[in-house]
Structure 1
Amino acid sequence: MATPSPDLATVISLLVSLLAISLMSVLFGRKTSGTNMANINYARGLVISLYVISWSFTTMAAVLTSTNVGNIVSCTLSIFVCLSLYAASKIIIYMFLIEKVYVVSSVTTTRKDTMLYRINILLLTPYTIILVLMVLNRVAVLDENDQCFIGLRPLASITLILYDIFISSWLTILFIRPLMSTTSVLQGPSKGKLRQVARRTLIGSVIAMILSSSNVFTLVYYRGYEDSVLCLLSCTLDVTLNACTVHWVTSRARVAHPAEKASRGVPNHNANNATSTEKQAAPTDTHISVTVESYTENF
């Protein structure tokens, strides 16, 4: 029997996956170039882990897209790859945003002594229940034409999208609050870098919420029976664009230094003190020492 020719959707999905694989490889290389892997801190570790998981997902998606026609094993693996790697990428993004909230709101205290940080970590625990719901309500079937359809039944997909909207909205509010407050740790002439971190992460949080919500909305629309090629394509775009957003958030934002202000004729008598204060504004966690610089440099 002749092997069926791939349709246009399959070809587009494979091209997108190959592009995403190349892009993740480039981003990973840029973030780790010249870096001693043994000295990677918690924040950088989350970013690099996101690249690795995104690369793994897009690679598996490319393989499964090209093999799931008339293949129930490949079809079943497609939904499990989505549930495992896609869910892992979401957890890492949530943890990354929680870490950013900690940096811009409680940078002078340890994580374990910060009530807000502990609450945010606690808010991630319902995802375990949601993951169980997704596994129990997964769909992976072949139709009469041997086309693979995967997805989640409404109970799991609706629960997932409600949780995603809630946690993303909550974290977004936590970034808006210190930016609007006149008494937050972000205020003051020496806190330009922290304000840039907060603004960029706020934008990144909104983008992540829009991407993920749009992706899960498609599952709700198809009531859990979506063409596997389209499902893997949308998930590939989701994880890749989220990884690119995190890359942009963690890239250095240009902030005028006191010396630059002085060269433009702007008086700054406390430049040395302000710079020293900013560099010392770091958490004192004995296990993970993270300075403000590590969240704003283009590593």
Structure 2
Amino acid sequence: MYTPDPEESISLFISLASISLMSVLFGRKTAGTKLNTINYARGLVVALYIISWTFSLVAAMLVQTNNFNEISCTMSVYLCIVLYAMSKIIIYLFLMEKVYVVTAVGTTRTNFMLYRINLGLLVPYLVIFCLMIIYRVSELLPNGECRIGLLPPASVTLILYDIFISSWLTLLFIRPLMSSTSLLQGPSKGKLRDVARRTLMGSLVALVLSTGNVFTLVLFKGQERGLICLASCTVDVTLNAMTVHWVTSRGGGGRSNTAEKSSNDRRQNPNTQVTTEKQVAPIESHLSVTVESYVEQYHQQTSNGSNPEY
């Protein structure tokens, strides 16, 4: 009778935990949201949730059949290449969108030179994707263990590209935060600065996770056990999705202060009727109350020639 080893049990637990976590995050982010209210940036977030959930689901199935199964072993390496690459591209597009948000004023994405340059930097990833397909490794050892990975021509190229693109996007957030003449400066730009700070931290997390995960591929030289590779990639995509969820979630500090102030006013003036606005979304992480809503309004008013005050 076959008995799962500890590595298989741990990998399966990680996949199942990631499935549950991604389901919760997806539900919180999309609760009560209509399709016609999902714009490009929010669509990227939802797509990242779906891909991360799908990755965890397929990984959970492959983990249970990884040993003594050549088909499962081969599918494992393709899963780590295709869905993992898709999640990374979505994260890069999301970070590029945030760069546009905090640096462009009154211009569209297609007319913004930096945005076009960033999109052009994604083209080499297509070449790297082809290298990963060509130099993939999937084999069964005599003891039935599945070994998957990437050979150095693909793994080294991938880690160098990940470090470059993540570092580049990180610098694009540091520059406006440090500059005294950037769009983020001024007493009325607090929310926009918060967008930049949160996304900067998200970019740093993506850099650390990508470097660590791909470094293991380089270290094992295409001979990493399939269970470990699936588990590490699952953790990578899940933590990235959690980071994006935090980046796009609205802080509750301002709302708490407002509620406390209103409560104090009612206690001091019990006869005064207080009119409150209807909450569009009661959940802090709801799509319609994320920082993108503020940014869209800011860019729209700026492009119309007005100076919004927030």
Query: TM-score, structure 1 length as denominator?
Result: 0.86
Report if aligned partners of 1:108, 1:281 keep a CA contact under 8 Å in 2. no
After TM superposition, the structure 1 = structure 2 runs for residues 174-193 of structure 1, keeping only pairs within 5 Å, are 174-193=172-191
CA distance in 1, matches of 2:295, 2:85: 36
Which of 94, 99, 103 is 1:101 aligned to? 99
Local SS of the residue matching 1:282: helix
The corresponding residue for 2:159 is 161
CA distance in 2, matches of 1:42, 1:278: 13
The corresponding residue for 1:289 is none
Report if aligned partners of 1:64, 1:78 keep a CA contact under 8 Å in 2. yes
Distance 1:143 1:278, change over 3 A: closer
Query: 1:199 offset after TM fit, Å?
Result: 0.3
Q: Does 2:73 align with 1:75?
A: yes
CA distance in 1, matches of 2:148, 2:70: 11
Unaligned runs of 5+ in 2: 262-293
Distance 1:181 1:91, change over 3 A: same
Which of 267, 272, 282 is 2:299 aligned to? 282
Q: Which amino acid aligns with 2:53?
A: W
Distance 1:190 1:256, change over 3 A: farther
Render the CA deviation track for 1:215-261: whole Å, top value 9, x for unaligned.
0000111011100000000000000000000000001135659x96x
Deviation beyond 3 Å, 4+ runs, structure 1: 254-257, 277-280
CA distance in 2, matches of 1:96, 1:279: 15
Local SS of the residue matching 2:216: helix
For this pair of structures, how many residues does the alignment match?
Answer: 268
The corresponding residue for 2:64 is 66
The corresponding residue for 2:28 is 30
CA distance in 2, matches of 1:31, 1:97: 18
Q: Does 2:123 align with 1:125?
A: yes
Report if aligned partners of 2:52, 2:237 keep a CA contact under 8 Å in 1. yes
Report if aligned partners of 1:24, 1:55 keep a CA contact under 8 Å in 2. yes
The corresponding residue for 1:270 is none
Distance 1:192 1:254, change over 3 A: farther
CA distance in 2, matches of 1:230, 1:255: 40
Query: 1:280 offset after TM fit, Å?
Result: 4.2
After TM superposition, the structure 1 = structure 2 runs for residues 162-241 of structure 1, keeping only pairs within 5 Å, are 162-241=160-239
The corresponding residue for 1:14 is 12
Local SS of the residue matching 1:139: strand
Report if aligned partners of 1:78, 1:228 keep a CA contact under 8 Å in 2. yes
Query: 1:108 offset after TM fit, Å?
Result: 2.3
Distance 1:233 1:280, change over 3 A: closer
CA distance in 1, matches of 2:118, 2:251: 26
The corresponding residue for 1:247 is 245
Distance 1:187 1:142, change over 3 A: same
Distance 1:230 1:159, change over 3 A: same
Distance 1:40 1:279, change over 3 A: closer
Q: Which amino acid aligns with 2:52?
A: S
Render the CA deviation track for 1:70-106: whole Å, top value 9, x for unaligned.
1101100000111110000000000000000000000
Query: 1:281 offset after TM fit, Å?
Result: 1.7
CA distance in 2, matches of 1:35, 1:163: 36
CA distance in 2, matches of 1:240, 1:279: 28
The corresponding residue for 1:56 is 54
Identity %: 61
The corresponding residue for 2:272 is none
Q: Which amino acid aligns with 2:21?
A: L
CA distance in 2, matches of 1:283, 1:122: 26
CA distance in 2, matches of 1:112, 1:176: 23
CA distance in 2, matches of 1:32, 1:279: 19
CA distance in 2, matches of 1:20, 1:169: 27
CA RMSD of aligned residues (A): 2.0
The corresponding residue for 1:147 is 145
Report if aligned partners of 2:84, 2:233 keep a CA contact under 8 Å in 1. yes
Query: TM-score, structure 2 length as denominator?
Result: 0.83
Distance 1:189 1:256, change over 3 A: farther
CA distance in 2, matches of 1:34, 1:9: 40
The corresponding residue for 2:283 is none
